[in-house]
Amino acid sequence: MNQVLQLSNKVKTALANKRPVIALESTIISHGMPYPQNVETALACEAVAREHGAEPATIAVINGKLCAGLTQDQIEYLGKTGSTMRKASRRDLPYLIATRQDGATTVAATMIIAAMAGIAIFATGGVGGVHRGAEVSMDISADLEELANTSVAVVCAGAKSILDLGLTLEYLETKGVPVIGYKTDVLPAFYTNESSFRVPIQANTVVEIARMILAQRALAYPGGMLIANPIPAQYSMPAAHINQAIDQALQEAQKLGVKGKDVTPFLLARVVDITGGASLKANIQLVFNNVALAAQIASAMSEG
């Protein structure tokens, strides 16, 4: 086993026995939600995974170790530390390992560590993508490049609606990343199911998705897969309402000079404030929905 990779006993046992395992990220704990909702949500996600037949492997960097499977105390630590915790993407991992520091993993870093551990599927809220105005700023999430290079399937509620969804789809197409809509023919926009952008592939059953992941892995070419799972209808927010909040948050970010990796957490936090907390409730529910689907897919994959 890689000396910098540390698996919990439960994750190690599940993998050894070829039982379903799904990865979960940790920036959603440190940067995605306020305390204590972040810790409550993280622990509830692990419970949802187990309810649907999979062992959860929440991933983070702790004391320079790439950890797949955290203790409750470690999750509590990430939640309490919050946004002062280093947000760890691909570029940050060597530094954190060398200096024995901590980091909450983004989608990209979670994919890397999941692949190292032999975990094929990962559930998150929404992936990063091409930011609005990227033709000037060149602000494109490392998540997209990781999807093009790392063989982990990612279940999400589409791309975060603070992004340019059309350009995000174009980027994924250029990189050859399959984008699959689960029971939908449009790319959901995180808080809302309403979208004018079509997904290229649609799947109506968990078994179909499991077979596609296994087929992609059998081809042995690099890259993952994006599975877009719409937020449940009862929690979906009206597109006009959420877009108005996003536009306001974007204007504030530009005025304050917020840039780089600080943009997404700033925008998500402001959208929560502007919507009176409604977006946070939607965020929590869509994450639960994605974890349940990922666990079901992992179970179907283990059955062949």
Would residue 255 show up in a list of annotated catalytic residues for this protein? no
Residues in the chain: 304
Would residue 25 show up in a list of annotated catalytic residues for this protein? yes
A 10 A CB-CB count for 43 gives 17
Catalytic residue (one of 25, 46, 55, 146): 25
Looking at residue 90, the DSSP 8-state letter turns out to be: G
Q: State the alpha helices, DSSP H only, in 177-238.
A: 206-219
Per the omega criterion (within 30 degrees of 0), is the bond before 178 cis?
no
Is residue 161 within 8 A of residue 275, CB to CB? The reply is no
Rg of the chain in Å (alpha carbons): 18
Residue 199 CA to residue 188 CA, distance in Å, equals 9
* Positive/negative CA dihedral, 4, 21, 227, 163: negative
Q: State the alpha helices, DSSP H only, in 133-205.
A: 134-137, 142-149, 165-174
Q: State the alpha helices, DSSP H only, in 52-180.
A: 72-81, 93-99, 107-117, 134-137, 142-149, 165-174
Catalytic residue (one of 12, 76, 146, 160): 160
Indicate left, alpha or beta for 100 from its phi (over 0: left) and psi (-120 to 50: alpha). Answer: left
State both tokens at 262: 């600080």
Query: What amino acid positions are annotated as catalytic residues?
Result: 25, 160
